[in-house]
Amino acid sequence: MILRQRMYWALQSGGWFAWMLNEAVLYTNQYGWHWAWLYASLANISLAILLTHQYKRITKQFAWQDLPLFAMLRNHFIALCVMATCLVALNLPIDQYLLGENFEVQMSPFIITQYLFNFMKPLAIWMLIYFFFQYSKKQLVMERENNQLERAIQETEGKVLRAQMNPHFVFNALNSIRALITEDPAKAKKGINQLSKLLRSSLLTERKKTISIAEELDTIIDYLNLEKIRYEERLTWKVDVAKEINQAQIPPMLLQTLVENAIKHGIAHSSKEGLIEIKGEVIGDQIQLQVINPGHLKIRGESTGIGLINSQNRLTLLFGETAHIDLKPLDKNRVLASVTIPYLAETIA
């Protein structure tokens, strides 16, 4: 703020000094040098700065920039005429006094109008420059506010999506435990302990936009151990994630959702032993994560479910169109879910 004020006064003084210096040179060439030109120039510079500064104060105080176009142009034109008239009222007597017998011009409306137009030119230039800077400043403020609003909207959308993910995950886990309550109460008790551990982990990460892949894998292993209680030998898993991406950042529960989907549509529908493979590698400047499960991909309107839909929406909010989820058959008996995202080394606040 202070720097902007200093720049304003420096431009004010410098601009009007340059204009009056030009006028003084013209007068000197025509009538010869007189020290009185210096005093007249200082008087003109002082009055011009006073007038334009008051104009600036009034336009800001009464918000002329926000007026309808016709009203705004009318006010600026009136202000231009008033400022030019004040400079004419100062300079006509000065010219008559300093030039004396050289001032041979007879006063007439035409001469006064000529004086007015002569002073209107620098004033109009000053007003245009000021209007341009005010307009640019207003656009910059609007752009900043729009960016802040957009970030706030994205943050809200992200929180809503994360809030939808947690109940989705909890319902799946509770369904697993519910199936064990009558069949094997001991395993159900163990499942509740596993769920408690998972919820504790979820509470720690729900406020984060991103977590490391290593943290996500720890949660997934806990979840798989919980599901193992229910599916026993029908569920096995293999994790093959490159070490160099362990600290790379991804949205919380991104891989978790793919694993849930793999169990729900793969392991749950099979009576045989099923293997879930979790893979991760670096491809160029991107990371590709894969979850492979046994089963067949069925194309239905709601087959992907809220989990995958929300995951894609969260990826779009964080990374734009550079991130996406693909779900396709890998072969006749396996389905591949893959996520491609930019490599992100630091947590998004």
pLDDT (tens digit, 9 = 90+) per residue, 285-300? 899 999 999 988 875 5
Is residue 6 pLDDT above 80, yes or no?
A: yes
List residues bridging with 294 in a β-sheet: 334
Greatest mean pLDDT among 27-31, 133-137, 303-307 lies in 133-137
State the Cα–Cα distance between residues 339 and 289, nearest whole angstrom: 5
- CA-nearest of 24, 87, 23, 88 to 55 is 87
- pLDDT category at 229 given cuts 50, 70, 90 is confident
Is residue 165 pLDDT above 60, yes or no?
A: no
Are residues 322 and 342 in contact, defined by beta-carbon separation less than 8 angstroms? yes
Are residues 252 and 216 in contact, defined by beta-carbon separation less than 8 angstroms? yes
Are residues 316 and 327 in contact, defined by beta-carbon separation less than 8 angstroms? no
Please report the pLDDT score of residue 169 as a whole number.
60
Please report the pLDDT score of residue 237 as a whole number.
94
More confident position, 116 or 201: 116
More confident position, 279 or 38: 279
Please report the pLDDT score of residue 172 as a whole number.
65
Is residue 241 pLDDT above 90, yes or no?
A: yes
Q: Which two tokens stand for residue 158?
A: 């992200």
In this structure, which amino acid lies at residue 218?
Answer: D
User: How high does pLDDT run on average in the chain?
Assistant: 80
State the Cα–Cα distance between residues 289 and 326, nearest whole angstrom: 10
- pLDDT category at 209 given cuts 50, 70, 90 is confident
More confident position, 171 or 47: 47
pLDDT tens track for 50-109:
999 999 999 888 888 878 889 988 999 999 999 999 988 888 887 777 665 555 555 667
State the Cα–Cα distance between residues 283 and 340, nearest whole angstrom: 9
List residues bridging with 250 in a β-sheet: 211
- pLDDT category at 235 given cuts 50, 70, 90 is very high
State the Cα–Cα distance between residues 198 and 91, nearest whole angstrom: 84
Query: Has this prediction a pTM greater than 0.75?
Result: no
State the Cα–Cα distance between residues 330 and 328, nearest whole angstrom: 6
Is residue 303 pLDDT above 60, yes or no?
A: no
In the predicted model, what is the mean pLDDT of residues 154-183?
Answer: 62
State the Cα–Cα distance between residues 310 and 169, nearest whole angstrom: 12
